[in-house]
Amino acid sequence: MLLGLFFLMHTDVQAQRGDYGKRYSNEKQFRLGFTLSPLGSFFKAQEPGVERNAGRFGVNFGVMFDYFLDADNHYAISSGLSAVSAGSTLKYDAGKGLKDFSTFPAEYDIRMQYLEIPVSLKLKTDLENDFSLYGQFGTFFQAPIRARTDIITNGLKTEKVNIMGDVNPLNMGLLVGAGVEYPISESLTLTAGLSYQNGFIDVTRNSKWHDGRINNNSFALRLGLFF
């Protein structure tokens, strides 16, 4: 459906070129940039027996790119590659959670890091004073590269438990966002916006945790610089 939409938009906008009088011309078909985005992530349990006590602040950093579908740079396929922090503090009832810690209720302070590839359709319009406003809608794919947790149960704390083998090797979900762009030179454009990601896939392997489905969601302040 997205590919069909890209094709229709690309075909339709060829006759929509206009002169917006911008101080700098950014009419390039492809642009590359860097992003450094603070975020807040939180795991959401879908079944009883697991309760979230806290989320976790982290950062998303890496490269991003836009491939424009029209001559006026109003429609683009946006993607990239970045490292993303995630995690939450979850409280498990007895009988749930990892086998070695399930005899008593336990609290897990989970810290994870993913490699992420977002894929979205970006729609952009020009405003006054050289600003541009954009919105984007799409999906993302994540693969964990690090997973640790501290566990408190029966008054004892076990730190830095490696749980890489107990989490799912893939996460994906919905990505929506909006923001502004501002050109500061002929080759540099600042961008800032907000985004929300809603994970669809269980973070923890249910056969290991017996906790139903745990979704990874996040809000991010998207900051970046395009070249």
- The 10s digit of each residue's pLDDT in 160-204 is 999 999 999 999 999 999 999 999 988 899 999 999 999 999 999
- Which of the pair, 89 or 3, is modelled with greater confidence? 89
Lowest mean pLDDT among 55-59, 101-105, 128-132: 128-132
- 24-53, pLDDT tens digit by residue? 444 678 999 999 999 999 999 988 999 998
Is the pLDDT reported for residue 8 higher than 90?
no
What is the per-residue pLDDT for 71? 86
- Give pLDDT, residue 9: 46
pLDDT at 97: 93
- Which pLDDT belongs to residue 129? 83
Give SS3 for 183: strand
Q: Look at 138 and 18; give whichever has higher pLDDT.
A: 138
The pLDDT value recorded for residue 27 is 61
Q: Which residues of 127-144 are buried (b: 16+ CB within 10 A; e: fewer)?
A: eeebebebebebebebeb
Token digits for 84? 């993303």
Question: Alpha-carbon distance 47 to 213, whole Å?
Answer: 7
Q: Helix H segments across the chain? A: 2-12, 206-209
The answer to whether the CB of 110 falls within 8 A of the CB of 147 is yes
Reported confidence tier of residue 1, pLDDT bands at 50, 70, 90:
very low
Beta bridge partners of 80: 64
Indicate the range of 31-40, 69-78, 116-125, 217-226 predicted with least confidence.
69-78
With a cut of 70, say whether residue 79 has pLDDT above it: yes
- pLDDT averaged over the chain? 88
Beta strands in the chain (DSSP E): 30-45, 50-54, 56-68, 75-92, 106-126, 132-153, 156-162, 171-183, 189-199, 214-226
User: Which DSSP string corresponds to 118-158?
Assistant: EEEEEEEEE-GGG-EEEEEEEEEEEEEEEEEEEEEETTEEE
Sign of the C-alpha dihedral computed for residues 208, 210, 213 and 214 taken in this order: negative
In this prediction, residue 160 carries a pLDDT of: 94
Measured from the Cβ of residue 89, the count of other Cβ atoms closer than 10 Å reads: 20
- What is d(CA 214, CA 227) in angstroms, rounded to the nearest whole number? 38
**Does residue 16 sit in helix, strand or coil?**
coil
Q: In this model, does residue 10 exceed pLDDT 70? A: no
State percent of the chain over pLDDT 90: 78
